[in-house]
Amino acid sequence: MYRVLIGSAVALFLVACANTAPPPVMSTRVAADSAARDSAAHQAHVNYVRVINSNDIDSLASMFTDDVVFLAANDKPIVGKAAVRAWADGYYKAFHTKWDKPQREFVVSGDYAFERYDYTSTDTPKAGGKPIVDTGWGFVVYHHDADGTWRVARDAFGPDHPPTAKQ
């Protein structure tokens, strides 16, 4: 009886092992395509900082999806490319800006990339006056559009300090 049980167990083990499919292997092409897509997504961050610092509204607007949303701390959401463009145009008319935005996290998932960053902004009033330096945090969602370009779909940001009291 003992031999029958051992024999049955061995037979079941062999059958189970024989029916196990090998794990899927990622093809070299898929891996290369994925690496190229990730690299292009990371380049979107570089491009975004570059166009912010260009202080050129047309360049900046070219980085937005049509349904872009800006979520600025202590402000209402700014929804849609036309609304965000108008908001940024007012900002550029009032200030010459320079942003440093080091990445803290960057994850690519399909047609979306998610970025967490810190920032230091220096806004020099065009009407004159001392530059205004601010520091804070942000979270960007990039979307890989049908034309192959990674664009900003969402940007949420705010200072890393309490708001200053209004005088």
Strand 112-125 relative to strand 95-100, pairing = antiparallel
**Is 46 in a helix, a strand, or coil?**
helix
Mean pLDDT of 12-25: 49
Q: Assign 36 a pLDDT band (cuts: 50, 70, 90).
A: confident
Residue 37: predicted pLDDT: 78
Considering only residues 118 and 7, tell me which one the structure prediction assigns the higher pLDDT.
118
Average pLDDT over residues 142-161: 96
Q: Can you give the pTM of this predicted structure?
A: 0.77
Q: Which residue has the higher pLDDT, 26 or 93?
A: 93
Which one is predicted more confidently, 120 or 34? 120
Give the span between the Cα atoms of 65 and 53, in whole angstroms.
19
E strands, 58-148, are 64-72, 78-79, 95-100, 103-109, 112-125, 132-144
pLDDT reading at 114 higher than 70: yes
Q: Name the band, by pLDDT with cuts 50, 70 and 90, for residue 52.
A: very high
pLDDT mean across residues, the chain: 85
Domains, the chain, ranges and CATH? 29-159 (3.10.450.50)
Q: pLDDT > 70: what percent of the chain?
A: 78
Say yes or no to pLDDT of 53 above 80.
yes
- How far is CA 157 from each of CA 76, 83, 160, rounded to the nearest angstrom? 12, 17, 9
Q: Say whether pLDDT at 12 is over 90.
A: no
User: What pLDDT band is residue 28 in, cutting at 50, 70 and 90?
Assistant: low
The strand pairing partners of 133, in sequence order, are 122
- Tell me how far CA of residue 109 lies from CA of 15, 31, 133, 135, 141, in angstroms: 38, 14, 34, 28, 11
Contact 135, 160 (CB under 8 A): yes
Q: Which residues pair with 113 in a beta bridge?
A: 108, 142
Instruction: Give the rounded distance of the alpha carbon of 111 from its chain centre.
Output: 11
Residue 14's pLDDT is 45
